[in-house]
Chains A and B, each alone.
Chain A
Amino acid sequence: MSKGFVLPFIGTLLGMLVSCGKAEEKPIEGFSQEIIAIRVSDTIPLTNPDAKVWQEAPAVLIELKPQNMIPPIIQDAVIKQLTVRAIYNDDYFGMLLEWEDPTKDDIINVDKFTDQVAIQFPITPENPGSFMMGNKGAPVHIIHWKAIWQRDIEQGYLDIQDLYPNMWVDLYYFKKQPIYSEFTEEGVKMPRVEEFSPEQNDYNPAIKMRNPVSLIERQIPVEEAFAEGFGTFTTQLHQDAFAWGKYEDGRWRVIFVRPMVSPDSRDAPLPAETMVAFAVWDGSANQVGGRKQYTPWIPLKLQ
């Protein structure tokens, strides 16, 4: 049995024991057991991970564990650690997350998955509940960034002709205004789904129904959600957070920013001492949904 398998297993076991109050989890060398957020006077940078202000906060290394408890699972963590920096000022709280990932996965197809990262805060810090998306009576606030969403904003909504540049379809739809592919001097022009009228989107039910994963006019690459247990992930009506990622040299750096105080009752408060948890997905490893690397609750102190 490899060491890589044993360690997460023991970690899980210890985690369960801690929750029963019978044993203390011993810190693994090199990994931090808490995150200190530093107060800064500058503004929090929204998109620049190289901004100097990030250097004011200590870089904290967090261990990621494979979600191997509740089906569907992953057996081993392909991303094993996450570097976290946290800063805040009067108005906003920011986090810079960094991890190594040799492939940038920012498209989706039947067999292609996107890179993602999410942070989670307890809505009731005095009773944070389960670190696995909370539980009934102890809900959580999740801020979720996906590489595909950022690509949608930077390059336009990922459409079928982006995945298959040489494709051709005679016409879409059989209503009053059918949509045809056209021959132009530059070549074949395929219609883009962004150009469709609401009536033409009758044939794209999830777009028509405004499913949060099918937003063709997406403005921000992040989604704020509420959850109180597995399978309860629910997009919030008010989206108050922002995130932006940068992929360079086999490394993702993603900035998360949220207001210090939010009028939204489904946003977690940020007292001087609370908790935070993370989840990271690697698209190349077909990770999606519950198939992810996670951390348990980690104390977060605002200094």
Chain B
Amino acid sequence: MPKVYNWHIGREMEYPYEESRPEKQVAWVFDINKCIECQTCTVACKTTWTSGKGQESMFWNNVETKPYGGYPIGWDLSILPKLGEQVWNENNVYEGKTVFESAPQGEKVNGYLPSDEDYAHFNLGEDECTEIIEKGAFFQGIHKAWMFYLARICNHCTYPACLAACPRKAIYKRKEDGIVLVDQTRCRGYRECVKACPYKKVFFNMVTRTSEKCIACFPLIERGEQPRCVQTCIGKIRLMGFLSPPEKIRRDNPLDFLVYYKKVALPLYPQFGLEPNVYYIPPVHVPREFLYQMFGPMVDEAIETYRSASEDKELLGALLLFTSTQKIIHSFRVKGDYVYGYDDKGNEVVKVPFTEPLYIRPYFDGKRNVYRHTVT
């Protein structure tokens, strides 16, 4: 089996195909700290792409409550024990096995196929926190129990397990932007991809009898717009853009800046070995042991950087770009008290102030002879 380099785990690993990075890689940063689980992203995706027959319980985008929630039920709890011991050494190199390296004989990927019931309760565990809150309890500076919302889409991985497992080569990764797609004319519904994807983001459509997955809203991306789930995000937790190839990273590319330079956003379960391309800013209030398991060994540094954003205008500027425009931001610059976002041709697509301007109007509107409900 060929060896490929996976920078998330700091080493080479086995993968069924040779390393072949796209010209640019579609990627997202999700700031977990800001997610309120309103599910607007979920509904935007659902109404855009999966309102057809056979897609009733299919959510390309979902938001689940951690630690107990999961869609399909227990997806991460089911795959994690299969990997065995997951140890990182002092140089942040993963010493355990990936889903490719731990595959049983005769399999390309170590996976499992969920049952139909696993997809039947999309938000089981919603808002459940880790402990019972006693009557009369109130916030005293430290949370007694914790939970957080994890928004999930297809990670459009650099080393997709779905693509590796498909015996028909019906899944492909686009060279121009790294989007991973299932060819709906070629798929024969073997479900090897559903079984292989550790994030369980390839779904079986029982009416068409083929597998379907998030397409990264490629019709939008192709005309320079961010996907639906990003455009509609109420909490402004999302930023979509392109990661540059490792040898061409740019500080003024907001994705490169957050992921490569500041290292404030981390991959979900990097130990799976897929080099996923949705990067998460970890939740600051969650016990570190849980976060190390979920986001790898760089959690402490990421949270420290995030917490110091108020003193780092460039970082704060990049964070202000989240869900600030429909357009894809290829580069950004901080000038004075504004951050500017530019498209691929250098045209300004957004200008965000560091401080929202505040205008206070009088209570009485003399022109209309009414009192105002709000004066700001």
Q: In the bound complex, do residue A71 and residue B108 qualify as a contact, i.e. CB atoms below 8 Å apart? A: yes
Q: Does A40 contact B (CB under 8 A)?
A: no
Among the 9-residue stretches A204-212, A244-252, A256-264, the one with 4 or more Cβ atoms under 8 Å from chain B is A204-212
Q: Does A75 contact B (CB under 8 A)?
A: yes
Q: In the bound complex, do residue B167 and residue A211 qualify as a contact, i.e. CB atoms below 8 Å apart? A: no
Q: Does A31 contact B (CB under 8 A)?
A: no
Q: In the bound complex, do residue A72 and residue B51 qualify as a contact, i.e. CB atoms below 8 Å apart? A: no
**Alpha-carbon distance between A73 and B192 when the two chains are bound, in angstroms:** 11
Report, nearest first, the 5 A-B pairs whose CB atoms are least far apart.
A203-B52, A73-B106, A206-B208, A289-B190, A110-B204
**Chain A residue at smallest Cβ distance from B190:** A289
15 A–B contacts from the bound complex (CB under 8 Å) = A71-B107, A73-B106, A111-B113, A163-B206, A196-B53, A203-B53, A204-B52, A205-B212, A206-B184, A209-B184, A213-B210, A230-B167, A231-B168, A288-B189, A288-B191
User: How many residues of chain B get a CB closer than 8 Å to chain A's CBs?
Assistant: 39
Given A159-B53, A209-B185, residue A193 in contact with residue B207 (CB < 8 A): yes
Given A72-B108, A160-B53, A288-B190, residue A204 in contact with residue B207 (CB < 8 A): yes
Q: Does B33 contact A (CB under 8 A)?
A: no
Cβ contact of B208, chosen from A110, A205, A290, cutoff 8 A = A205
Cβ contacts B191-229/A at 8 Å (1 or 0 each): 110100000000111111110100000000000000000
Q: Does B11 contact A (CB under 8 A)?
A: no
B191, chain A: closest CB distance, angstroms: 7
Given A160-B56, A172-B51, residue A72 in contact with residue B209 (CB < 8 A): no
Cβ contact of A110, chosen from B47, B52, B116, cutoff 8 A = B116
Q: Does A46 contact B (CB under 8 A)?
A: no
User: For A112, what are the chain B residues with a Cβ–Cβ distance below 8 Å?
Assistant: 116
Q: Does A184 contact B (CB under 8 A)?
A: no
Cβ contacts B157-173/A at 8 Å (1 or 0 each): 00000000101110000
User: For B355, what are the chain A residues with a Cβ–Cβ distance below 8 Å?
Assistant: none
Give the A-B contact count at a CB cut-off of 8 A.
Answer: 115
Cβ contacts A38-75/B at 8 Å (1 or 0 each): 00000000000000000000000000000010011101
User: How many residues of chain A get a CB closer than 8 Å to chain B's CBs?
Assistant: 39
- B interface majority secondary structure: loop
Q: In the bound complex, do residue A173 and residue B209 qualify as a contact, i.e. CB atoms below 8 Å apart? A: no
Cβ contacts A224-237/B at 8 Å (1 or 0 each): 00000011010000
B78, chain A: closest CB distance, angstroms: 13
Q: In the bound complex, do residue B204 and residue A233 qualify as a contact, i.e. CB atoms below 8 Å apart? A: no
- A interface majority secondary structure: loop
Cβ contacts B105-137/A at 8 Å (1 or 0 each): 111100001111001000000000000000000
**Chain A residue at smallest Cβ distance from B203:** A110
**Chain B residue at smallest Cβ distance from A107:** B206
Q: Does A272 contact B (CB under 8 A)?
A: no
**Alpha-carbon distance between A18 and B189 when the two chains are bound, in angstroms:** 34
Q: Does B13 contact A (CB under 8 A)?
A: no
Cβ contacts B169-191/A at 8 Å (1 or 0 each): 10000000000000011111111
Given A68-B106, A72-B167, A286-B113, residue A207 in contact with residue B190 (CB < 8 A): no
Cβ contact of B205, chosen from A73, A206, A208, cutoff 8 A = A206
Cβ contacts B287-329/A at 8 Å (1 or 0 each): 0000000000000000000000000000000000000000000
Q: Does B54 contact A (CB under 8 A)?
A: yes
Cβ contact of B192, chosen from A163, A172, A289, cutoff 8 A = A289
B157, chain A: closest CB distance, angstroms: 19
**Alpha-carbon distance between A209 and B204 when the two chains are bound, in angstroms:** 17
Q: In the bound complex, do residue B53 and residue A110 qualify as a contact, i.e. CB atoms below 8 Å apart? A: no
User: For B185, what are the chain A residues with a Cβ–Cβ distance below 8 Å?
Assistant: 206, 209-211
**Chain A residue at smallest Cβ distance from B185:** A209
Given A206-B209, A288-B190, residue A174 in contact with residue B47 (CB < 8 A): yes
Given A160-B207, A231-B167, A290-B167, residue A110 in contact with residue B56 (CB < 8 A): no
Q: In the bound complex, do residue B165 and residue A72 qualify as a contact, i.e. CB atoms below 8 Å apart? A: yes
Q: Does A214 contact B (CB under 8 A)?
A: yes
**Alpha-carbon distance between A206 and B47 when the two chains are bound, in angstroms:** 18
